[in-house]
Structure 1
Amino acid sequence: MPQTLDAAAVRSWCSLALEALGREREEIDAINVYPVADGDTGTNLYLTVESAAQAVEAVFAAHETGASEPAPADAVRAMAHGALIGARGNSGTILAQLLRGMAEVLADAAPTDPGGAGGDRLAPALRRAAKLAREAVAHPVEGTILSVASAAAEAAERSAAERSGSADAGATVRAAYAGARAALAATPGQLPVLGRAGVVDAGGRGLLAVLGALVRSLTGETPAAFPMGHRRYEDPAAVVSAIESCAPEGGPAFEVIYLLEADDTAVARLRARLDGLGDSLVVVGGDGLWNVHIHVDDAGAAVEAGVEAGRPYRIRITHFGAAAEELPERVQRAVVAVVPGEGLAGLCAEAGATTVLARPGEPPASGELVEAIRRAHAREVVLLPNDAALRHTAAAAAEQARTEGVRVALIPTRAAVQGIAALAVHQPDRRFDEDVVAMTTAAGATRYAELAVAERQSWTMAGICQAGDVLGLIDGDVAVIGADLTATAEAVLSRMLAAGGELVTLVLGDEVPDALADRLEIYVRDGHLAVDTVVYRGGRQSVPLLIGVE
C-alpha cells in the first residue's frame, strides 16, 4: 500500500529528525565552514527541529481527549510554525522556510482528510520548499543547503513523472533523499571554501538527515547513510586547522536573529535596509510573523531596523569572536530562571539570575535552557523552570548540562512567584546543598494563583464557566469564577490569606491598570494588617495577574 504523510507520520518525522540530528550534531558542527566557521550548524538545526517537534506534540496533546488524531494540515502547519519561532542560525532559518514551503502545499492538498498527502503532493511540496528558501536568502549561493534542497525537489519530480503521478509517497521521498545525497557530495566542488577544507556543506548535511528521517517515517526503511567524517583528513587536528584557515578575515562581528511581527510591505523595506548593513541575510515566514537572520558589524542598527518595521522580540545577538576569545574564569554558582514577561526578566536579572523568556504560547525548548546554563558560565547552577508544564523540559536540560560538567540542581517551581521567593533567599556564598534547600523551602512555602479569562464554556472545579468569565486559579485549580477582574482577585486573596501569610506578591500584565494593584493593596491592608504587599510589572504575559502568598 502506498503510504501517505498523515498526522502520525508528521509526528514520527519530527521525532526521527530530532533523533538523527542529535546523533549527528557534533559531526555537523565540526564541518561548519560556510558562511562562518563558528561550529554550531548542527546544534542550530537540532534546536530548530526540537521547536518544530514540540509544536506538533502540542497539537496532539490538544486532541488527547478526542477519538481521532489531528488533521494532517494542523500537524504540518504546527511543524512549520514551531520551526519558524525556534529557528537558529543561518541553516536553521533556511530549514524553517523549507518546512513552511512544504506545509503550504501539504496543508492545502487535504485540509481535513485524515489520510494525509500522498506522493503526488510531496514532489510539489519539496519544489515549493526549495523555491521559498531561495527567495528568503538575499544572495543565494550554490554548494549550500539551497542546492541540496533543489536537488531533492528535482529528483522527487522526476520520480513522480516516471510513475505517472502515482501517489506512492515512499518512492517519492526515497528519490528525494537520493538526489539530496548526490547534491551534498558535490558541494565541495561548487563552493571553494568547502573544497579547501575538504568537507561538505554542514547545512546540506543536516537537511539530508531531516530527509532521511522522512524516508524512515513513511517507509520504515533506513536510507543509506552519508559517510561520516571528512573527505580528506583523518587527523581531527588537521581538519580543524583547515577549517580555521578558511575563515574569512574582517567579516561581520555579530549574528543577529529575532522574531518580527510586521506586514509584508514593512518586511520588504526591512530586507532592503538590512541588505545594506551586512551579509547572510535570511528573512523567512509570512502571515504577519517573520524570523530575521543577518551577520552585521552594527547589531544595534539591525535591531533598530526591525523596530521600524514592526515588533521584534526574542532578539539574540552572538559575537562571532566570543568562541575564540579566552573565556573568563567560571563563577562558582548561578541561577537560571524562566520568566513569563520582560518585567520579571529585568527583576530576576537584577537579582543576579540568567533569564529565559517564555512568551505566551511559546514555551522555551530544552536547548534554550541548556544555552542559558552555558551562558551563566558557572560550576554550579540552580534551575528555576517556574512552570509545571516545563518540568520534563527542564529535567532534560539539567541532564544535558550535567554531561558537560556543570552541577545542576532543579527546583520544581511551578509559578514565577515561587521563583521570585526562591531568588529572594539565594546566597551564593553558602554551600551548594544548603542554598538549594533554602531556595526550595522558600518556593514550597509560597502558594501561587493566577487570574485568566475563559475562552469557552467548560466544567471547572468551581462549576461551569462561560466564555469571557474571569477564572481565579489557586495552585493550578480553578477556585473562583467571576465577571470582574478586581472582585475575582479579591476573592482569590481572601481564600489564600485565610490560611495565613506574611507577604503578598502581585505581578501585573502590561494591559492591567495600576489602579487594580492599588485596590488590591488596600484590600490586603484593611483585612490583614501584618501582611505586606509588593507589586511588579511583568510585561506581556499569558495571564493578566499572578499572585503569590508567602
Structure 2
Amino acid sequence: MSQTLDAAAVRSWCSLALDALGREREEIDAINVYPVADGDTGTNLYLTVESAAQAVEAVFAAHATGTTEPAPADAVRAMAHGALIGARGNSGTILAQLLRGMAQVLAPPAPGDGDHAARLAPALRRAAELARAAVAHPVEGTILTVASAAADAAEAAGADGRKAGGTRTDGTRTDVAATVRAAYAGARAALDATPDQLAVLGRAGVVDAGGRGLLAVLGALVRALTGEVPAVPPAGHRRPEEPAAPGPGSGPGAERDGGPAFEVIYLLEAGDAAVTRLRERLDALGDSLVVVGGDGLWNVHVHVDDAGAAVEAGVEAGRPYRIRITHFGATAEHPPEQVQRAVVAVVPGEGLAGLCAEAGATTVLARPGEPPASGELVEAIRRAHAREVVLLPNDAALRHTAAAAAEQARTEGVRVALIPTRAAVQGIAALAVHQPDRRFDEDVVAMTTAAGATRYAELAVAERQSWTMAGICQAGDVLGLIEGDVAVIGADLAATAEAVLTRMLAAGGELVTLVLGEDVPDGDALADRLERYVREGHLAVDTVVYRGGRQSVPLLVGVE
C-alpha cells in the first residue's frame, strides 16, 4: 500500500488490476452486448492490462541490481506503452488511451514536494478527454461515460478538500485516498446508469461491459493506494423494471445484425498527418473506429466488411504490424465447429507465421523485444477451437509463460501438450511430422522427438563490448550462438554463418534449415552462398531456406 503514486504503487496497481480482471473476466464477457455481442470484452481488457503489467515488470527488472526503485515517470510510461502495444478489442484500445492520458499528466516531474497525489484528478480528466477524442463517434452509456464520471468525482473531491483548507499530517497537499475513493464511487454510479443511456443495455438488463472492466481497474487503484478493497458490484443483472425476455430485435446478437463482418486491429508506425488521413478513410469504411497512441506509434481498431481495405489503408499511412483480423461469425455466439486437434506455435516473424499457418497451425507472432504474454497464448488456444492442442513456444525464455497458458487452458477443458521447443527451427521440425489423424500421445511423441533432434543456432549482431564464451566481442561484431551460447565471433555475416554450420554439421545431419530476416542485406546472395557451402562440404545434406520477415536476429539455423 502506498499513499502516493510512486513506482511501487504503479506496479501494485497493475498487478491488482490484472488479478481483478482475471477473476471477473468471464462475467464481463457474458454481459458484452455493445458495440458487438462477441463475448470477449473481459478477455480483451485482461490481455491489455497483462501487457501493461509486463512492461512495468520489465522496468523493475532493469533496476534489479540497483539500490533504488525505478522513477515514477518510468513506471507510468511503461504502463501506458505496454497497454498500447497489447491493446485488444474496442474496450482494451480505449483503456490503453485512458492510461496514456494519465501518464501524460503523471510522468512529467512533479513540482514542489514531488507528490503525485495532487495530480491524480487532472490525470483522470486528461485520460477521459484523450479517450473520447480517440473514438470516431463517442456514445454515452459506455466506458467513455464511466471514465468521465470518475474524473468529475475526483475533481469534486479535490475541490472539497481545498475548501476545507487543511493538509494531511504527512504534508500531502491532496488526500489521495479521498480522491481515488471518489473516482471509484463516481464511476460506479455512472456504470449503474448505463442501461438507461444505451438502449441495447436496457433491453438486455446489463451494464456496459467496458465500463464494468474500467471499474475493476479503478478498484485496483483504490486498493493499491489505500489498502481498501472496494465492494464489487455484480457484473450484470436484470433490473426489476425490465421484462424477463428481450423484446423483438434485442438480445446479444442484435447489434451485430447488418453490421460489419470483421474486426481489424493493428499497431501502426506513422506520423500524425498520415494518421489523420487514415482516420477519415477508416471512418468511411466501417464503424467502432478507435485510433489511440501518438509519438509515431498507434493502435488502430475498426469494424469493417472489407478487412483488406482496412489493412491497405494502414500500409498507405505507414507500417502496420501485429495485424489481427477476427470474423464476427466465429464468436462465442456462433462458434466454429470444434476440431479434434490443433497446433499453436509462437513464431518470430511474419514469414514463419505464414509458413506455420499453411501447415495448419494457429500462430502467435512474437515481435522483437515484445514476447507474447500467457494470456495471448491462452487466447490462441481458444481460437484454435480444438479438443486437443499441441503448444510450441519456440523460445526457451517462454517456457514458464507457455506452461502457465497450458495450465489455464486445461482448466477450460482443453487437453494441452506443451513441447518445450527452444527455437523456431525446432518448431518447424515438429510441425513437419505432425499428423492429426493419429493418437494424441503418439503425435506428441513424434513431434517432441523431431524437435529434440534439431540443433539450433542464430546469428546476431553485438550491441556493445562484452565477455562471451568465445572471447571478447565488440559492438557490431557478428555473433554465432549455438544452442544459446556464443560459439563464434566474426566480422562478416556470411563467413560467421559458415563457421557455425561447420561446427553444427561436424556432429552429422541430414537437413539444414535457414530462416533469413527481412533486414539481411542481399538475402538471396547469402542464401545461395550458404546452400553452396553446405552442398560442397556435405553432399548428403539438403538445405531449405525460409524468409522470416521482421525478426530479432538476421539468421536462424537448424540442423536435423
1:538 maps to a residue whose letter is G
Structure 2 CA distance for partners of 1:330 and 1:495, relative to 1, 3 Å: same
Aligned: 1:197 with 2:195: no
| Cα contact 2:36–2:253 (8 A) shared by 1 | no
Range 260-269 or range 449-458, more displaced: 449-458
CA distance in 1, matches of 2:34, 2:251: 10
**What secondary structure sits across from 2:330 in the alignment?**
coil
Query: 1:112-511 residue pairs with structure 2 within 5 A?
Result: 118-164=116-162, 166-232=173-239, 238=245, 243-244=251-252, 246-247=254-255, 249-323=257-331, 327=335, 329-511=337-519
CA distance in 1, matches of 2:333, 2:32: 19
Q: Deviations over 1:12-32 (max 9, x none)?
A: 111110110111112111222
CA distance in 1, matches of 2:240, 2:14: 33
Aligned: 1:103 with 2:113: no
CA distance in 2, matches of 1:234, 1:395: 47
2:208 maps to a residue whose letter is D
User: How far has the Cα of 1:298 moved from its partner?
Assistant: 2.2
1:462 maps to a residue whose letter is A
Q: Deviations over 1:29-74 (max 9, x none)?
A: 1222222222221111111111111222222222223333222222
CA distance in 2, matches of 1:119, 1:431: 60
Range 223-232 or range 259-268, more displaced: 223-232
**What secondary structure sits across from 1:108 in the alignment?**
coil
Q: Deviations over 1:194-228 (max 9, x none)?
A: 22222211111110100000111111111232244
Structure 2 CA distance for partners of 1:156 and 1:299, relative to 1, 3 Å: same
| Cα contact 1:451–1:543 (8 A) shared by 2 | yes
| Cα contact 1:3–1:118 (8 A) shared by 2 | no
CA distance in 1, matches of 2:159, 2:333: 53
| Cα contact 1:72–1:116 (8 A) shared by 2 | no
| Cα contact 2:479–2:496 (8 A) shared by 1 | yes
| Cα contact 2:253–2:333 (8 A) shared by 1 | no
User: How far has the Cα of 1:468 moved from its partner?
Assistant: 1.4
CA distance in 1, matches of 2:489, 2:332: 56
Q: Deviations over 1:256-279 (max 9, x none)?
A: 211111110000011111112222
CA distance in 2, matches of 1:86, 1:297: 24
CA distance in 2, matches of 1:398, 1:234: 44
User: How far has the Cα of 1:234 moved from its partner?
Assistant: 12
User: How far has the Cα of 1:236 moved from its partner?
Assistant: 13
2:430 maps to a residue whose letter is A
User: How far has the Cα of 1:293 moved from its partner?
Assistant: 1.1
Structure 2 CA distance for partners of 1:136 and 1:256, relative to 1, 3 Å: same
What is the TM-score of this pair, normalised by structure 2? 0.92
User: How far has the Cα of 1:510 moved from its partner?
Assistant: 0.9
Q: C-alpha root-mean-square deviation of aligned residues, in Å? A: 2.5
**What secondary structure sits across from 2:321 in the alignment?**
strand
In structure 1, the gaps of 5 or more residues are none
| Cα contact 1:31–1:39 (8 A) shared by 2 | yes
Structure 2 CA distance for partners of 1:209 and 1:354, relative to 1, 3 Å: same
CA distance in 1, matches of 2:14, 2:507: 47
Structure 2 CA distance for partners of 1:307 and 1:89, relative to 1, 3 Å: same
2:533 maps to a residue whose letter is Y
| Cα contact 1:472–1:480 (8 A) shared by 2 | yes
Match for residue 528 of structure 1 among 517, 525, 538: 538
CA distance in 1, matches of 2:276, 2:395: 38
Aligned: 1:57 with 2:57: yes
Range 151-160 or range 135-144, more displaced: 151-160
CA distance in 1, matches of 2:243, 2:508: 63
Structure 2 CA distance for partners of 1:245 and 1:322, relative to 1, 3 Å: closer
1:536 maps to a residue whose letter is Y
User: How far has the Cα of 1:488 moved from its partner?
Assistant: 1.7
Structure 2 CA distance for partners of 1:117 and 1:88, relative to 1, 3 Å: farther
User: How far has the Cα of 1:133 moved from its partner?
Assistant: 0.3
Could you tell me which residue of structure 1 aligns to residue 169 of structure 2?
none
Structure 2 CA distance for partners of 1:386 and 1:235, relative to 1, 3 Å: farther
| Cα contact 1:506–1:535 (8 A) shared by 2 | yes
**What secondary structure sits across from 1:109 in the alignment?**
coil
What is the TM-score of this pair, normalised by structure 1? 0.94
1:313 maps to a residue whose letter is Y
**What secondary structure sits across from 1:244 in the alignment?**
coil
User: How far has the Cα of 1:287 moved from its partner?
Assistant: 1.0
User: How far has the Cα of 1:240 moved from its partner?
Assistant: 11
CA distance in 1, matches of 2:215, 2:341: 40
Count how many residue pairs are aligned between Structure 1 and Structure 2: 548
Structure 2 CA distance for partners of 1:235 and 1:191, relative to 1, 3 Å: closer
CA distance in 2, matches of 1:500, 1:203: 57
**What secondary structure sits across from 1:126 in the alignment?**
helix
CA distance in 1, matches of 2:19, 2:30: 18
Structure 2 CA distance for partners of 1:389 and 1:250, relative to 1, 3 Å: same
CA distance in 1, matches of 2:54, 2:92: 16
**What secondary structure sits across from 2:252 in the alignment?**
helix
Structure 2 CA distance for partners of 1:324 and 1:130, relative to 1, 3 Å: closer
Q: Deviations over 1:94-143 (max 9, x none)?
A: 000000111111111359x9x97521121111111111001101111111
CA distance in 2, matches of 1:235, 1:490: 73
CA distance in 1, matches of 2:317, 2:114: 37
| Cα contact 2:212–2:235 (8 A) shared by 1 | no
1:121 maps to a residue whose letter is R
| Cα contact 2:346–2:365 (8 A) shared by 1 | yes
